[in-house]
Structure 1
Amino acid sequence: MSPPISRSPRSVVHGFAFPRTAPREGQSLQTELGTALYPLLQLLGQLLKVPLVYLELAQPGSDPHSSSKGILYRDPQGIPAGEPFNLNASPGAEQWPFHESFLLQTEQGIRLADLHLLDCHPRQLSSFEREQIDLVALSLKHILLQAQEHRQTLEQLQSQLQDSRSTAARYQQIFENAVEGIFQTTLEGKYLVANPALAHIFGYESPEDLMHNVSDIGTQIYSDPEQRAEFIQRMLREGQVVNFEHQVCCKDGRLIWISLNARTIYSDQGDPLYFEGFVTDITASRQLKERQQQLEEARRESEHRFLQLVENTQQLFWITTVYSKELIYVSPACEAIWGRSAEEAYANPQAWIRQIHPDDRWLFPTILKAQSEGKSTDVVFRIYHTDGRLIWLRERTFPIADKEGKIYRVAGIVEDITESKQLEAERRRIEQAWQQSANHFRQIFELAPNGIALVDLQGRFIQVNDAFAQIVGYTPEELKHRQQLDILHPEDVNPLLEANEALLAGKVSVSQRQIRYTHRSGQVVHVLFQATLLTDEEGQPTQFLNQVIDISARVEAEIALKESEERFRQSFEWAPIAKAMTHVDGTYLQINAAFTETLGYTLEDLKGKTVLDITHPDDIATTLENSNRLLAGQVHQCEQEQRYIHKNGQIVYAILRITLVRTAQGDPSYFLSQILDITERKQAEAALRQSELSLRGIFQQSALGISIVDHRGHYLKVNPALEEILGYSAAELTHMSFCDLTHPEDIQEDWQLFQEVLNGQRDRYHLEKRYIHRSGKVVWCRLAVSAVRDPEGKNLFIIGICEDITEEKRAKLQIQAALQEKEVLLREIHHRVKNNLQIISSLLRLQADQIKSRKYARVFKDAGSRIQAMSLIHEGLYQSNNLAAVDLKQYLHNLISNLFHSYGVNPESIRANIRAEGIRLNLDDAVLCGLIINELVTNSLKYAFPKGRSGEIEIHFSQTRKYTQLRVSDNGVGLPPNFDFKETQSLGLQLVATLTDQLQGKIQLRSKPGTTFIITFPRSEP
């Protein structure tokens, strides 16, 4: 036993004082230790009257003399709180004349702490003081040892908590399937969460049954409520309990023993929220002692059985003393393995060493040393059997200790592993071959130009090569463990799943199809897909091997080809001109509807016929000559005028254009013929020739352009005047249609009218349109078009007469420019008239301001208002886009605003309601109406609202088809009874009557309530 303390060498430390209150939850173990130790340091300082007591704590695993932090007691009376101190000062130094250090250590000599006593004054410790120091040191040592145990326990708990957090992702599965009960409860004792194991331990059917029936754990679960109270106290004080064993009551009344491990969960503010932990049923362990006797008997029986086993097993079992000095036991299998009987082994225990292969004998000195040290061994070596065979043995040894734990025996088991070694060699050979095969496969997998992917049975990528990743735009790492369906086109999902099911069912060995992947960029990738099923040694499917070839370019080319073929087919089928495809031997491959319409034959009719069979005999030689020229490659295309024999026997005149289509290798493939029916043109030409003599003079000498066109709009004949208008010769125009020369903006209208004439919807039409002259200039023409029909009403040809009106159009533009100049001039006149009237109005108002007589001043102001009313008319016309009409609504707003301003009327007191939407008058009517409204509104402002009376003035215009009505009213005091405005001496009302007469209108007066004038006059268009 070591003394509780001893002198300790001093070291440089930095002291700090711990708080004297108990640590809060969440504080470190160091803080809790300081709380426990500080009172003892304070007591020691006060007993010894030492101003500075410092306990320097040893850190776990640190050097005993290394510096560390500790716990400091400082007497503020002896040493001020702000004064620094240095424990490194030597005894007798100026700062510490007195400095004693004591070492606190365990019985094993492990340093726990150094206790330092320091004083600013020299002194000697008495024996009584040293006894006091010993007593305090014993208490300090006891606390430090408890803290060390507490720290170890806490570290274990923290390790458990860390392990728990690291497996949070699997918590739910563990929670549901754990054999231990898991719970969360409130502080008051109600279950928040419970797993099935907890319910089973307590005898409940389910966690829900437990939580529903148990509302107070302390009274319903605990057999002793005091144990529940102890649990609560420890949980709130320590934050956790470990292996808390107590008895609980099950649902059926049984008492069982459980072990409880729990912790307290705190809020961010440090307040306890709830408890959680694990419950283990340890009832069985409590019964362990009762079974020990049975186990002992079972052990003895087991030893007996073991002896029987080793006597009859093929493995060699032996027991020797340490260093193999004496063979205690060897099993009968010795003869089978070594070729020596057990008796020979007992007689000569060391003989077996000579049978060991020379290369393996070096192992045994090491084995003997390990056995002497009480270690187990496991070695493999070779021996020569007495029959000369080389066999492999595996020997495992283990020590046997006596009751005191001392090794006194060594036991061993020897097994013949020759066969397993041979199997191992064969396995290595197979593995090496497999590895070579795997390397070859890996090289093929990685370097293959086609995409390869290994996919598990659930459709997840296991491995893909770079080619596959490049096809779909992802990296191999991004595709790993990703579902193949994630990048598969939605329309290909079900077919691929069905193909995989067929592979799994063994219906097919290889699945091939064309599918689509969705590239990372969003584009669709077309691939040729092949899947095979890989199996294990038992033939069970393990994964799919998918191989893909990117055929996007080919698919796009095929789509483009199909689109091109479709366009060609539609162009061929619906072309307005007859078309035919024929073999180089002249037999027909395909014809379009226009061909049937032109010649009357269907493709069925032409079976067995050649081009020559329906060609006029006089034209066969020309047809053969042109065909041979095309086949010889002399020309690419031929055009000729040819006659065909219609199905009904009639002769059809046509322009034939033949093209030879060749294969990619340049070999002739087929002829493509276009047949333009010119029969009508031929007939028209004949008709024209009949009337040519009579019409030639008119046609040639006419000043108007005349043209004759067929039903397609192609020119058949034109006169010199049209040649001059369009700039083209007659020969050039006969190879053109009128659409070729019409301005693009006029083609649609002209063609629509042309079709209506052809269809008989109209006999003729007139149109002003633009032609494009050969020089590129635009020519305006006035066109008249009509159809010439035979007696049966069939169109023979269309005749068009056009007059060059380019100069007329140019003159109209000049007139429009002149009108615009006139409009600008007229607008300027209105502007100047408005300015002059405003000047006159302003002069009258200025003059009125100079006249002292109110009567005459009012006359001048009224005259100014009238002139202002006329000025506003001209201002409105100046600002308007239409100089012929006045927008009354805006004009009246301006007029009333000026009157209110002139008479100082508050618009909030007297409101003006103007209703003249959409009313427009010509200049004369607008001026007269403006003067009338000016007079009537002026009278209302003067007389209708005396003494600041408020009210409303309404001006309302309305129009019928023949008349315009103006109504001016107010809700003021009204006019006197029997008032006759026609006989009044008021200049304003006289002026109203005069202006009404000028409008050729009628005036009505209504009074009570207020005053209303209604003026109706004939409507004149602006």
Structure 2
Amino acid sequence: MYHNLADLEVLLKILDSQGFIHNYELQLKRADGTYFWAIASLQYLSFNNESAILTVFYDINDRKNAETQLQEQNDFLQRIFESIPLMIALIDANGKLQWVNQEWENILGWKFQDFQTRDVLEALYPDSEYRQYVINFMQSAQRIWGDFKTQVRDGGLLDTSWTNVYLSNSQIIGIGQDITERKRSEQALKAQAEREQLMRTVAQRIRQSLNLHEILNATVEEVRDLLGVNRVVVYQLDSEMSGTIVAESVERGWTVSLNVQIHHTYFQAGAGVEYYQGRKRAIANIYEAGLTDCHIRLLEQFEVKANLVVPILLEVNSQNPGSHLWGLLIAHQCSDFREWEENQLDLLDHLTVQLAIAIQQSSILEQAQAELVQRQKAQVKLKAALAEKEVLLKEVHHRVKNNLQIVSSLLQLQSQTLKDPEAIKVLRESQNRIESISLIHKNLYTSADIGQINVAEYIQNLAASLLISYQLWPEKISLETDISPLSLNVDQAIACGLVINELISNALKHAFPNQQEGTITIILHNIGNKIELIIQDNGIGLPDNLDWRNTESLGLSLVHDLVTEQLEGNIILERNHGTIFKIEFTQLTLH
């Protein structure tokens, strides 16, 4: 009946020698061959020189099964926690570490056994003030992620992010992840954004000012702030290969070098030839960079321990390709030696290109100021060239207009050879479209300013031309206009002309059947930086079932494409008492 007879025999011997009650868990076998768990309560009895053992069995099979099931669930949950790629730690209400998963140990380097007698938070966050900040975050019970600097076992700091889950028994489950790569990416993006901002700032100053002194001073100030160095200077070389510090931004407490003239044999002896070739240099330690003794002594005068050096090269001229070494852009680290990053050297390299542009622009300005007479002559020549260009442009517009007229005439001749009314209609519509474009070029070469188009005059001429084309007279169809004085560039004027051509043609063909009298109205207003164009008629209107955006009509399809794509605007159709097309688009500059 006993599942483990050897254990039972040992138990009986113990009881026999000690004489006390003992409870023992046994797995017993039923008559049907199945097993169950029970507690055997054994008592040693002695009376009348007789001895006996009283045995009482208690069935605990249900409890044992529940314990087994609970253990299996715990094992299952533990396997899940071990497989999750996150750090998981269980801490009791007193801050003692109860359990961690393998990921926690792998990332932080600590072992669970390290904290049997040690405070885990004190080890991970040794600074008491910072540790209190972590504790406050944990006790806030907010289900948010917080970023922290966590100390790993080897003493290094790791970027981590944690969130906490409070349990009903006051225990805390901490869930964390290593965010080192994310932080590195964020810092790289931030550095890139700062570099781009610096480039934009310098480029903007160059565009706004030709004062080289202001540009150089602003550049060294911005670079020192961005790189976090002690000093940034611009060193200009002269014809004798000596030089002067012409711009400087220096942190308080370090030697000022602005306007210091440096007579050094480094360049005179040809040792700086690599800078002529565009070489840039990052020196982490001046004593380990292979510099000459005199060069080291020079740097020691200005307390330099590490530096970045990038040449400022100017193009000689377009006829003789080559570069002239104007000077150097230098960043000094004086407080300590420093390992530089590649992107920091690249930043200075990009900046020297901007500085070269500023230097060349400033040089041009100085030459212009010194040679005022030649400048005035150049202005006269420039005006003559502009006048010649204007004449040439007018001639181009005139020729384009003539060519369009030729095309229109060819279409007219072609229509006279056709008998199919539909084909004649198509040619006439094409002819009208060409005429609308031709009018633009006519206005351009007849206008005093070839960059402006008299919109009111153009629309009046276009509408009158359409009335004549369809052989209608003012007494039948009247044209009303309300056009504000504004100008359009060529592209927008052509697009508007084609839109007006299509919508007026459509109204003349379909809105007034059986020689019905009516009115076509064109309204053009400037509303802020938007232009509103309204073309309406009081005719019979478009059919209610007509989807004008999806129709086989070439004219309406052309209107939709011109407004949405060419003008980048929108169009609204209203069918009240006729037809109203409301078009709105942004006014662009004339050129």
TM-score normalised over the length of structure 2: 0.37
Structure number with greater Rg is 1
Q: Higher RCO, 1 or 2 (CA under 8 Å, sep at least 6)?
A: 2
TM-score normalised over the length of structure 1: 0.21
